[in-house]
Homo-oligomer: A and B are copies of this chain.
Amino acid sequence: MTGGIGAGDASAGIVAGRVALAAPGTEFHSRDVALGTERPAVFADALASEADAAASAAADAFFALQTEPGELDPVVLVRALAVALEGRRAELVAIAGIETGLPPARLNSELGRMTGQLELLAAEATARSGRAVEEDPAGEPGGAAFAPALALGHVPLGPVAVFGASNFPFAFGVLGGDTAAALAAGCPVVAKGHPAYPETSDLLAEILARVLADGGWPAGWFSLLHGRGSEIGQALVAADGIAAVAFTGSTRGGLALVEAAAARAVPIPVFAELGGINALYLLPGAAGEAGGGAASGASPFVTGLAQSVTGGSGQFCTKPGLLVLVDDAASRLTVASLASVLAAADSAPLLTPGILHALVTGIDRLRRLPGVDVLLDGPTDETDVAAAVPAALATVTSADLRADPSITDELFGPAVVVVYCDSIEDLIDLTGVIPGGLTATIHAAAGDEDALHALLRRLRLRAGRVLFGGFPTGVRVGRATTHGGPFPATSAPGTTSVGAHAIDRFLRPVTYQDLPESMRAAALSWK
């Protein structure tokens, strides 16, 4: 089998190098999304007790490496993993393509992003570990003020539970950004694989297990657990030894983990990246440039927005879900042009039958709300899970949206809602009604300066990333990246899950007071 784990049996994952024990009667198959069929490979939900076993092995491995540091270096591990993933690129893209229906170009790009994030975090760890972040030198002996010497360093938090997301098998999967940040920080990981792509998860786990074995790392540094219900995840968050949780997925799922983590005898932080609507505000000056009748060809704005809505079949946490504009002739032309382009833009099948069901149900619910005008129906048939997915487009007025803010509920898939405002003042005011999230985007042109300033100051309170032009689905993985924001973008508003600062989530500051010079290297290294 592709995953190489539990050959001959159902795979429930890998716990510290051994096959995970499966809960009886929980077998399930991986799926071929394009064919809409089950694959031969068989998986199963891991026994809840395996969460404890994996957490315990991770905690033991962590304690051993922290207290008996040797040659093992998280930076070397992370870099070796990036190399190993590149070496298995063809296999990875092939199996992920079958399980997700995502095209090879997208998956190749996502894999490059995944290894790029590993490299970025390795560089960040190299630049930081072993150095004091801050130092307060000792005051004069016998001076009036109490002033011992302080040196600020960090330690890894400990074993991290990572929950892979449905929509990015590489960048937010079991070896995605959360795992990369945890490993770079010197933390072991217990990952819960998303049931949408178990073969891909198994292959990723096998690659890391080999890198760990080749490098002499304890097998407990990484475990993978399969499971479809919430039981295994709840067991993992409750397990002794788990020090933090990283999650990407639904608001409901994330909130359940937040509550479970807070109810522990020892509460632990949860870094849950959840949903969001990613509103895009098209100001009147820019709308004048963006319009153009459907007949005269779409503008770059319309083409770009349509691509951002339909790319990855709209299954991005940064997909623009609302287009907010002032109701005038230019806006109407823009929306007509957008409808025309979206009508011609079928997307690849959705990742799972559950996502298709939620989208069909969500559009149906939207259609029944007062004032909602559905211009493009989107998918209506839930039976053919392998069918291409047409885009959905609806319009509503700001007054109707205010009357029922549930119109802004996220539609995960190629769907966008247009909101017509009465005036620019109305549009600015509407920012207080539209929920916060990962991103907010402003398109402005000459004449929009005043509104631009007003929007900036409001939208930075509502988003982790504010874009001036462009579209939110492109996320640059850099030092200045924030992939977070106010709830529901994340449950931990002070943090980011992408970029160099993602490593901060898994480090804890430690101050050394009057640290002897001879202890300095040992104290300030995370390793």
What is A's interface to B at a CB cutoff of 8 Å?
63, 66-67, 69, 132-136, 146-148, 150-153, 155, 157-158, 255, 258-259, 261-263, 266-269, 432, 449, 452-454, 456-458, 460-461, 463-470, 474, 476, 478-482, 484-488, 491-496, 500-501, 504-505, 507-516, 518-519, 522-523
Closest Cβ–Cβ distance, residue A507 to chain B (whole Å): 7
Q: Select one of B432, B457, B507 contacting A494, CB under 8 A.
A: B507
Closest Cβ–Cβ distance, residue A264 to chain B (whole Å): 9
Query: Which B residue's beta carbon lies closest to that of A435?
Result: B266
Contacts of A485 in B (CB 8 A): 508, 510
Query: Which B residue's beta carbon lies closest to that of A67?
Result: B457
Contacts of A492 in B (CB 8 A): 269
Closest Cβ–Cβ distance, residue A305 to chain B (whole Å): 16
Contacts of A469 in B (CB 8 A): 514
Cβ B262 vs Cβ A258 within 8 A: yes
Are A152 and B480 CB-contacts (below 8 A) given A66-B461, A259-B263, A452-B519? Answer: yes
Cβ B523 vs Cβ A460 within 8 A: yes
Contacts of A261 in B (CB 8 A): 262
- 6 pairs, CB–CB < 8 Å, chain A vs chain B: A66-B457, A67-B458, A150-B479, A258-B267, A267-B487, A495-B509
Cβ A491 vs Cβ B134 within 8 A: no
Contacts of A63 in B (CB 8 A): 432, 461
**Complex CA distance for A133 and B132, rounded to whole angstroms:** 18
> In the complex, which of the residues A132, A255, A487, A508 has the most CB atoms of chain B within 10 Å of its own CB atom?
A508
Query: Which B residue's beta carbon lies closest to that of A452?
Result: B519
Cβ A148 vs Cβ B476 within 8 A: yes
Query: Which B residue's beta carbon lies closest to that of A444?
Result: B516
Number of copies: 2
**Complex CA distance for A491 and B261, rounded to whole angstroms:** 11
Q: Select one of B482, B510, B511 contacting A509, CB under 8 A.
A: B482
Contacts of A505 in B (CB 8 A): 494
Query: Which B residue's beta carbon lies closest to that of A489?
Result: B508
**Complex CA distance for A263 and B491, rounded to whole angstroms:** 12
Query: Which B residue's beta carbon lies closest to that of A454?
Result: B67
Q: Select one of B266, B468, B479, B510 contacting A134, CB under 8 A.
A: B479
Cβ A510 vs Cβ B482 within 8 A: yes
**Complex CA distance for A113 and B152, rounded to whole angstroms:** 20
**Complex CA distance for A504 and B133, rounded to whole angstroms:** 14
> In the complex, which of the residues A255, A259, A263, A519 has the most CB atoms of chain B within 10 Å of its own CB atom?
A519
Cβ B263 vs Cβ A457 within 8 A: no
Q: Select one of B453, B460, B512 contacting A510, CB under 8 A.
A: B460
**Complex CA distance for A495 and B470, rounded to whole angstroms:** 35
Closest Cβ–Cβ distance, residue A261 to chain B (whole Å): 7
Query: Which B residue's beta carbon lies closest to that of A486?
Result: B508
**Complex CA distance for A425 and B485, rounded to whole angstroms:** 47
Cβ A493 vs Cβ B523 within 8 A: no
Cβ B522 vs Cβ A509 within 8 A: no
Are A481 and B511 CB-contacts (below 8 A) given A269-B493, A452-B519, A460-B155? Answer: yes
Contacts of A67 in B (CB 8 A): 454, 457-458
Are A510 and B262 CB-contacts (below 8 A) given A269-B494, A460-B155, A494-B504? Answer: no
Q: Select one of B453, B468, B510 contacting A522, CB under 8 A.
A: B453
Are A470 and B509 CB-contacts (below 8 A) given A66-B457, A453-B522, A456-B519? Answer: no
Query: Which B residue's beta carbon lies closest to that of A484?
Result: B509
Q: Select one of B146, B466, B480, B515 contacting A133, CB under 8 A.
A: B480
**Complex CA distance for A294 and B501, rounded to whole angstroms:** 54
**Complex CA distance for A493 and B457, rounded to whole angstroms:** 31
Cβ A513 vs Cβ B263 within 8 A: no
Contacts of A478 in B (CB 8 A): 134, 136, 150
Are A511 and B148 CB-contacts (below 8 A) given A132-B480, A487-B267? Answer: no
Cβ A465 vs Cβ B511 within 8 A: yes
Contacts of A509 in B (CB 8 A): 464, 482, 484, 494-496, 501
Cβ A511 vs Cβ B267 within 8 A: no
Cβ A480 vs Cβ B150 within 8 A: yes
Contacts of A481 in B (CB 8 A): 136, 150, 152, 511
